[in-house]
Amino acid sequence: GAVVSQHPSWVICKSGTSVKIECRSLDFQATTMFWYRQFPKQSLMLMATSNEGSKATYEQGVEKDKFLINHASLTLSTLTVTSAHPEDSSFYICSASGQNTEAFFGQGTRLTVV
């Protein structure tokens, strides 16, 4: 299947700092990228949907000023958690899909805010 690379796989940061997570589609053009958050033993919760060159569409309850999403090219999307706090600690996962294709997931990023 298609390859989606997510980086970093884990990060520890201090409270109040910002963290950027990258998601790259390595062998296809991702017209749409999705960002999810997953708490232990729970399913994936969609945070936002981004289409290349457009502003991201955020799900209800997700602060767009806190979770900045950029999808500047067909192969790269970034999620920046701004002014991170311990309650932002979670597993963040991106997925990417091409035009009318299935979605492939990155490896996930475990964020710990101390």
Partner 1 sequence: QKEVEQDPGPLSVPEGAIVSLNCTYSNSAFQYFMWYRQYSRKGPELLMYTYSSGNKEDGRFTAQVDKSSKYISLFIRDSQPSDSATYLCAMSTGGGNKLTFGTGTQLKVEL
Binding site residues, partner 1, CB under 8 A: 1, 4, 6, 31-32, 34, 42-44, 46, 49, 91, 93, 95, 97-108, 110
Cβ closer to partner 1: 24 or 108? 108
Cβ closer to partner 1: 77 or 95? 95
Shortest spacing between CB 105 and partner 1, in angstroms = 4
Q: Which residues contact 60 (CB under 8 A, 6 or more apart)?
A: none
Shortest spacing between CB 11 and partner 1, in angstroms = 14
Contact (Cβ atoms closer than 8 angstroms) between residue 56 and residue 36: no
Shortest spacing between CB 87 and partner 1, in angstroms = 20
What radius of gyration do the chain's Cα atoms show? Answer: 13
Cβ closer to partner 1: 34 or 67? 34
Partner residues linked to 54 by β-bridges: none
Structure tokens at 61: 């309850």
Give the chain's largest Cα–Cα span. Answer: 40
